[in-house]
Structure 1
Amino acid sequence: MKKIFFLFFFHLLIIPFAFAQEAKDVVKKADEKAKGKTSAATITIQTIRPGWTREMSVKGWTKGNDLTLILVLAPAKEKGVVYLKRKKEVWNWIPSIERNIKMPPSMMSQSWMGTDFTNDDLVKEASILEDYNHSFLAEVTIDARTCYKIQLLPKPKAAVVWGKVIMAIDKKDFMMLHVEYYDEDGVLINTMHCTDIKMLGGRLLPARMEMVPANKKGNKTVLLYNSLVFDTPLDDSFFNTQNITKVK
């Protein structure tokens, strides 16, 4: 009888753990597909407001989950602005004042250059793999694609922007198609929807990401991938504070 009870108790413990691992694996596959070992992209970002629209062009490079560099190409006023992430540290180079500013964690939740993306969204200070616990919620359909609906809750000591993140990831091609971002009180803040699925860098991925704030009617930011190249060798030294003023 004791053996049966032990096996039953062990079953109760191991099943939720197995599903948590599975949910994390799905998120990992989607994350790795979108990033590769390295990536280099040219991107157009449109900030849309009820009375005006602003367009920005950027280049972005990544290496794994720890290294990211973003260079603003246009408009002329912001040309040359650079954001650099190395592990948990983020710097911002502002050429107009020739200053390299190390960004404190408190700034990660703020708007990135007036868009509806946060600084954290763009440079990913928080790791969606290491800073959150993952669990399956349901199966959902997004734009006729069957998706895993996965909840991400921050680990107790993780320094993250969001109190909860809910993702819909395509079950067949492991593409992140829909993401909801909540604050610590469980209030929906932003929703990102990904469309225009096409071959980018030899992989099937969404070329359009639309971020919509929940409480600002008529506001949204659209991110459009113009080009994307994966797995080109990039040395770690490319992602350093010495290079931040020289990158083109």
Structure 2
Amino acid sequence: MGLKQILLRLTALLALSSVALAQQPDPRALLHRAIDQLRGPAMAATYTLLVERPGRNKKYVLRVYTDGGDRAHIRVIEPKRDAGQAFLTIGQDIWIYNPRLGRVLRLPPSGRNDRFLGSDVSYADLSGRDLESDYRVSLAEAETGADTLTLVLTPNPTAPVPWGRVEMVLGKKDLLLRKIVYYDQRGAAVKDFVVNSTAALPGGGYLITGMLVRDLVRPGYRTVFEVSDWKTGSPPESCFSPAALERGCRF
């Protein structure tokens, strides 16, 4: 083979490699898209939360107002004994209103991994953007014929996070979030989120309307989320202040 043929072949191989690289999805963009699906659009919606434990269940009905970014106002509607409790998340800051005390309290950083309403969801899960800010992300090598993509998240060296690794599974064609698996520092899977249902949104995109959260360490510990009665649009700015937790949000 002459020098000219060798150079032509190398040029063709480089061109193919460039095309292949250009076609590789950006893991950071995929992560942002998945978090957006978890957060939902700017809207008001009713969330039904069923906390299942061996031998007993507890059901909560919540009204949630979110700007589709890093702010959410959550109010407990049922059961009656818990009604009036309210929560506000702004980035990594979380405030809690207790109607019995008549006070708004700011959750200390040490409480971010506590269980929200005794469920299998933590307060950190509510804030939503920790996975973007505290983790590095890469795309796992796809299995031959697989219809999913897997994002592998590893903590930044100085990030104060409880997980050793997080994996997010997305559909390869629709890029819809299907599952999140949380691993401890020893590499054991300890919790997962499984998406059960979605709904198309006006103007495009999807809303996650059903999700199962499982404690993989304690059998029978599960939390089921269902979303209904949603109304898209941005709630008033007045909904996203600690003072709004006592008076409520009108939208």
| TM-score between both structures, scaled by the size of structure 1 | 0.81
Unaligned runs of 5+ in 2: 1-20
Stretch deviating more after TM superposition (101-110 or 153-162): 153-162
Sort the Cα spacing of 1:98 and 1:109 in 2 relative to 1 into closer, same or farther, 3 A: same
Match of 1:93?
97
Unaligned runs of 5+ in 1: 1-16
Q: In 2, Cα distance between the equivalents of 1:173 and 1:20?
A: 15
Match of 2:10?
none
CA deviation profile, 1:18-75 (whole Å, cap 9, x unmatched): 9998111111122234545523221101011120111110011222433121111100
Identity %: 25
Stretch deviating more after TM superposition (100-109 or 204-213): 204-213
Match of 2:165?
164
Q: In 2, Cα distance between the equivalents of 1:138 and 1:59?
A: 40
Match of 1:45 among 39, 43, 49: 49
Q: How many pairs are equivalent?
A: 228
Q: In 1, Cα distance between the equivalents of 2:143 and 2:74?
A: 33
Q: In 2, Cα distance between the equivalents of 1:60 and 1:229?
A: 11
Q: Map 1:52-63; keep pairs closer than 5 Å.
A: 52-63=56-67
Match of 1:210?
212
Q: CA RMSD in A?
A: 2.7
Which structure has the highest strand share of the two?
Answer: 1
Q: Deviation at 1:146?
A: 2.0
Q: In 2, Cα distance between the equivalents of 1:186 and 1:236?
A: 42
Letter in 2 for 1:225: V
Q: Map 1:1-248; keep pairs closer than 5 Å.
A: 22-35=26-39, 38-124=42-128, 126-139=129-142, 146-200=147-201, 203-230=205-232, 232-248=233-249
Sort the Cα spacing of 1:72 and 1:41 in 2 relative to 1 into closer, same or farther, 3 A: same
Sort the Cα spacing of 1:203 and 1:22 in 2 relative to 1 into closer, same or farther, 3 A: closer
| TM-score between both structures, scaled by the size of structure 2 | 0.81
